[in-house]
């Protein structure tokens, strides 16, 4: 990096806390978490959930904040450069860091499109586009027509969905263009408070709902909360429940992706990472467990009762957010207002996450190729816009599910395992412990020295091992994919492999240029 070029930085501690919390708080907090809890033992799910939080989520959070700040001191904002700074003697380690750019890039490609649905439904709610729909089948048909999966009386083409995608994509790129302080931090400082206000307003509305049918007084909010939180301890005997809880922690804290590494790289050496990281994580947990657990499942119980609630909870994230919740809100006074609040809440959760997913790729171009922010964002925007098209037009063929598996599940756990080993074993636990506490406002409990070095990596390898044992062959041979969609999945995998190879070539070129420039 040229001496005249200065890296961007955060304007305040509140700014980075809100940005990291915004990255973590997404659609999964309000849709995925309650569905997983309801389907995996209710209140008992919180036991493996908080075990995973203490042994996996919080250690990884501190690891990534510390690694990011450390790498930023060498003017590296992404995993290839940060990994290289940790283990300079190994010339291959930087290639493992490619996952920290690849994962966020792949997630951004489909997440932005899903984010655009929430913006569209915000407007649909205000203008009563779906207000006359009164059952699951018609609302499902409305969603499928909007997505372009089918044509019916609601939508004849994908035109509306594409229009809102263009608007959403443009807003995301606009925020990213203005950088860390002027774009992302400014967005999160107002978006996160508004999100909390919307969430609390919806929670209060759910808590003040009476039983809609006098003949069924047991269909009330207390029993709705009971359905979600009454523990079924027999579920704890299932390894699947423990794996689901660990997976939810990954999703909810945005660890193992590479985003926190990049965000933390804009800190200075004296900035605290211990308390700031813990504050951002606590904000996310409040949003997920308190707000996310108090809205959609209790409300669905009140209106659909104990017989249907199990199938509703297991119907999938999209059905919960875009089918069940609109049906509930349609039955309330001021349905248009509360429908708008619900979907605007999801939009804010989506955009604060989406812009964080873009930053690693943009930072890579800036830091390793000395490209100015505007040009880096232009390259990123053009590339991702092209890559978004298969997601939009082949949604029904399983492309999103395939991208989500590789970008948002498998490589996420693999990357977390790599960075943990690097941090605790290659960098060295004693040196790592000192690095964590530079500028710290509080001390990390000493037990975490043992947890980070031994328990967290073991936990991660167990997750990977169990998955490889149970699922690997099924995924590779597409056993859960409809035969007519095999060609689309194969094409998606070829595309993913090509993206990874291109990133590897770019890393090689970047380091060759650095070597020629420094003469080392």
Highest mean pLDDT among 213-217, 311-315, 390-394, 467-471: 390-394
Q: Rounded distance, CA 350 to CA 116, Å?
A: 9
Residue 462 inside a domain? The answer is yes
Per-residue pLDDT tens digits for 421-440: 999 999 999 999 999 999 99
CB 135 within 8 A of CB 328: no
Q: State the pLDDT confidence band at 519, using cuts at 50, 70 and 90.
A: low
Per-residue pLDDT tens digits for 96-107: 999 999 999 999
Position 301 scores a pLDDT of 87
pTM: 0.94
Give, rounded to a whole angstrom, the gap between the first and last alpha carbons of the chain: 15
Residues near 121 by beta carbon (within 8 Å), at least 6 away in sequence: 130, 322, 326, 339, 343
SS (H, E, C) 309-351: HHHHHCCCHHHHHHHHHHHHHHCCCCHHHHHHHHHHHHHHHHH
DSSP letter string, 367-436: HHH---HHHHHHHHHHHHHHHHHHHHHTGGGTHHHHHHHIIIIIHHHHHHHHHHHIIIIITTHHHHHHHH
Of the candidates 47, 29, 390, 428, the residue with the CA atom closest to the CA atom of residue 234: 47
Number of folded domains in the chain? Answer: 1
- Residue 156 phi/psi, 5-degree rounding, is -100, -10
Structure tokens at 309: 């609630």
Between 240 and 169, the more confident residue is 169
Q: State the pLDDT confidence band at 4, using cuts at 50, 70 and 90.
A: very low
Position 228 scores a pLDDT of 83
CB 357 within 8 A of CB 107: yes
Does the pLDDT of residue 246 top 90, yes or no?
no
Per-residue pLDDT tens digits for 273-324: 999 999 999 999 999 999 998 998 898 888 888 878 878 877 778 888 999 9
Q: Rounded distance, CA 202 to CA 205, Å?
A: 5
CATH number at residue 435: 1.20.1740
For residues 511-516, average pLDDT = 85
Q: Look up the domain containing 114 and give its range.
A: 13-518
Residue 481 inside a domain? The answer is yes
CB 114 within 8 A of CB 350: yes
Residue 339 inside a domain? The answer is yes
Does the pLDDT of residue 355 top 90, yes or no?
yes
Does the pLDDT of residue 5 top 80, yes or no?
no
Q: Rounded distance, CA 242 to CA 55, Å?
A: 13
Of the candidates 153, 140, 145, the residue with the CA atom closest to the CA atom of residue 324: 140
Which value, to the nearest 10 degrees, does the dihedral of the CA atoms of residues 194, 197, 198, 199 take?
120
Highest mean pLDDT among 189-193, 204-208, 470-474: 189-193
Between 197 and 238, the more confident residue is 197
Residue 463 inside a domain? The answer is yes
Q: State the pLDDT confidence band at 480, using cuts at 50, 70 and 90.
A: confident
Position 160 scores a pLDDT of 96
Residue 22 inside a domain? The answer is yes
Of the candidates 388, 315, 327, 395, the residue with the CA atom closest to the CA atom of residue 144: 395
Residue 59 inside a domain? The answer is yes
Residue 44 inside a domain? The answer is yes
CB 30 within 8 A of CB 296: yes
Position 121 scores a pLDDT of 97
Q: How far is CA 65 from its chain centroid?
A: 17
Residue 237 inside a domain? The answer is yes
Position 398 scores a pLDDT of 93
Mean pLDDT over each residue of the chain, to the nearest integer: 92
* Residue 153 DSSP class: S
């Amino acid at each position: 990096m040229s001496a005249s070029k200065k890296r961007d930085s955060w304007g305040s501690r509140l700014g980075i806390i809100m940005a990291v919390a915004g990255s973590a708080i997404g659609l999964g907090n309000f849709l995925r978490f309650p569905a997983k809890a309801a389907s995996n033992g209710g209140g008992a799910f919180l036991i493996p959930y908080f075990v995973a939080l203490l042994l996996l989520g919080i250690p990884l959070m501190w690891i990534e904040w510390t690694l990011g700040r450390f790498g930023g001191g060498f003017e590296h904002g992404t995993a290839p450069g940060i990994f290289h700074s940790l283990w300079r003697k190994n010339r291959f380690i930087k290639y493992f860091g490619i996952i920290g750019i690849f994962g966020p890039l792949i997630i951004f490609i489909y997440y932005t499109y899903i984010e655009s649905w929430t913006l569209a439904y915000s407007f649909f709610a205000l203008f009563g586009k779906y207000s006359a729909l009164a059952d699951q089948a018609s609302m499902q048909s409305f969603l499928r027509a909007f997505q372009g999966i089918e044509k019916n009386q609601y939508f004849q083409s994908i035109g509306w969905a594409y229009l809102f995608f263009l608007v959403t994509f443009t807003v995301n790129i606009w925020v990213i263009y203005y950088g860390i302080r002027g774009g992302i931090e400014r967005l999160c400082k107002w978006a996160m408070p508004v999100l909390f206000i919307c969430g609390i307003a919806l929670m209060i509305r759910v808590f003040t709902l009476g039983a809609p049918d006098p003949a069924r007084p047991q269909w009330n909010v207390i029993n709705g909360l009971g359905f979600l939180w009454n523990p079924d301890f027999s579920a704890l005997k299932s390894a699947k429940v423990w794996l689901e809880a660990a997976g939810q922690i990954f999703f909810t804290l945005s660890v193992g992706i590479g985003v926190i590494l990049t965000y933390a790289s804009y800190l200075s050496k004296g900035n605290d990472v211990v308390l700031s990281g813990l504050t951002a994580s606590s904000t996310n947990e409040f949003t997920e467990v308190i707000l996310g657990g108090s809205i959609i499942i209790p409300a669905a119980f009140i209106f659909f009762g104990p017989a249907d609630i199990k199938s509703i909870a297991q119907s999938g994230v999209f059905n919960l957010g875009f089918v069940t919740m609109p049906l509930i809100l349609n039955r309330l006074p001021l349905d248009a207002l509360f429908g708008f609040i619900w979907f605007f809440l999801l939009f804010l959760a989506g955009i604060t996450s989406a812009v964080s997913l873009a930053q690693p790729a943009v930072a890579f171009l800036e830091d390793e190729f000395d490209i100015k922010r505007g040009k880096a964002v232009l390259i990123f925007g053009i590339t991702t816009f092209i890559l978004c098209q298969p997601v939009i037009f082949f949604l029904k063929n399983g492309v999103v599910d395939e991208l989500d598996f590789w970008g948002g599940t498998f490589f996420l756990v693999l990357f977390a395992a790599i960075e943990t080993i690097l941090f605790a074993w290659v960098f060295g636990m004693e040196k790592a412990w000192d690095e964590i506490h530079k500028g710290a406002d509080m001390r990390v409990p000493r037990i975490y020295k043992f947890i980070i070095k031994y328990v967290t990596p073991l936990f991660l390898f167990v997750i990977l091992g169990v998955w490889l044992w149970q699922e690997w062959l099924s995924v590779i041979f597409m056993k859960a994919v409809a035969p007519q969609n095999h060609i689309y999945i194969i094409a998606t995998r070829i595309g993913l492999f090509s993206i990874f190879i291109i990133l590897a070539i770019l890393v090689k070129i970047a380091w060759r240029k650095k070597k020629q420039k420094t003469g080392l």
